């Protein structure tokens, strides 16, 4: 009798501590529609789960996390050039691992990062914001985000108007504007607001304002990145936190607004075009702004 009881207990233990579900590689295979939540669209024969890897490996792929569907999750995703992953209004895609974007991530909803990670590639992340009727804001949330471009190709660009709430290391390109061919056609992209970087910012990439848009940095800024304000009098970069920098500033038109102590070892090039009359630097009363201060800056002291 004791032997029989022991066998039963062992069997129960094996059931209770079984191995976790197997993570899958899910390749998008568009069938009757392009919905992310259609299991028939995936090589893994299921809607990808939080432990799965999502791959769009065809330049004609366009996969949609649709507003009428549900929030989704995966461990990472990769997009080849030409492929498009769209997150519609009100939806969230959560990822917990590094991603490669050589195509386009088109966002009206939220990209939530479960941990500090890197998005690399030569593609485009489009953030859209609409402030009128039916307003919405696309955002990237979570922990530290590093943007990094691949060598030998175009620069990975986060472009548009929306919010990046993460601590950001920008070794690629941040652009407040809508210079992207994807938005020249259908669906229409909405850019009606400010591109806000809400936490600490660093990196060696580039920050730009174009197309009459404003790039607003709300916390501390460090690093060797270069800065550019394009040839439009409505363009603006606003620095709300202390900035201790090494990069150059090129203001073709528009406005650089500084609301905290500011210093850069780099140069200021102000108004290099025929419309340069509107190029300006505005400094909040009581703050200091210094350009070309090498070998180092003393900010916030």
pLDDT at 299: 58
pTM of the model: 0.89
Mean pLDDT for 260-282 is: 82
User: In 143-261, which ranges are E strands?
Assistant: 145-149, 157-160, 163-164, 168-171, 173-176, 194-197, 201-202, 206-209, 214-217, 221-223, 226-229, 236-239, 243-245, 249-251, 255-258
pLDDT at 21: 56
pLDDT band with cut points at 50, 70 and 90 for residue 271: confident
Mean pLDDT taken over the chain? 88
pLDDT band with cut points at 50, 70 and 90 for residue 114: confident
Residue 119 near residue 99 (C-beta atoms within 8 A): yes
Asked whether residue 8 carries a pLDDT value surpassing 70, the answer given is: no
The neighbour count for residue 292, using CB atoms within 10 Å, is 11
Nearest residue to 72 via CA among 45, 98, 93, 44: 93
Q: Please give the Cα distance from 227 to 207 (Å, whole number).
A: 5
- What is the DSSP code (8-state) at residue 7? H
Burial tier of 48 (Cβ tally within 10 Å: 0-12, 13-18, 19+): buried
């Amino acid at each position: 009798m004791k032997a029989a009881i022991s066998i039963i207990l062992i069997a129960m233990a094996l059931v209770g501590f079984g191995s976790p579900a197997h993570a899958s590689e899910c390749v998008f295979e568009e069938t009757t529609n392009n919905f992310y939540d259609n299991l028939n669209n995936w090589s893994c024969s299921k809607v990808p789960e939080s432990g799965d890897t999502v791959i769009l490996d065809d330049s004609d792929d366009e996969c949609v996390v649709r507003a009428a569907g549900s929030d989704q999750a995966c461990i990472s995703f990769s997009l080849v050039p030409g492929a498009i992953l769209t997150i519609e209004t009100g939806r969230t895609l959560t990822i917990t691992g590094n991603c490669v974007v050589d195509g386009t991530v088109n966002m009206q909803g939220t990209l939530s990062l479960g941990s500090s990670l890197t998005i690399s590639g030569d593609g485009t992340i489009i953030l859209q914001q609409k402030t009128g009727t039916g307003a919405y804001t696309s955002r990237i949330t979570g922990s530290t985000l590093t943007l990094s471009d691949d060598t030998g190709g175009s620069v990975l660009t986060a472009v548009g108007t929306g919010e990046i709430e993460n601590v950001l290391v920008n070794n690629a390109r941040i652009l407040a504007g809508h210079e992207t061919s994807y938005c020249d056609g259908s669906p229409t992209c909405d850019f009606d607001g400010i591109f806000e970087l809400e936490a600490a910012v660093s990196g060696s990439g580039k920050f730009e304002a174009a197309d009459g848009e404003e790039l607003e940095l709300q916390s501390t800024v460090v690093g060797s990145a270069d800065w550019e304000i394009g040839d439009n009098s409505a363009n603006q970069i606003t620095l709300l936190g202390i900035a201790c920098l090494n990069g150059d500033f090129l203001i073709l038109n528009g406005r650089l607004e500084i609301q905290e102590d500011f210093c850069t070892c780099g140069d200021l090039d102000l108004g290099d075009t025929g419309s340069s009359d509107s190029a300006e630097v505005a400094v909040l009363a009581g703050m200091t702004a210094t350009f070309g201060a090498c070998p180092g800056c003393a900010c916030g002291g």
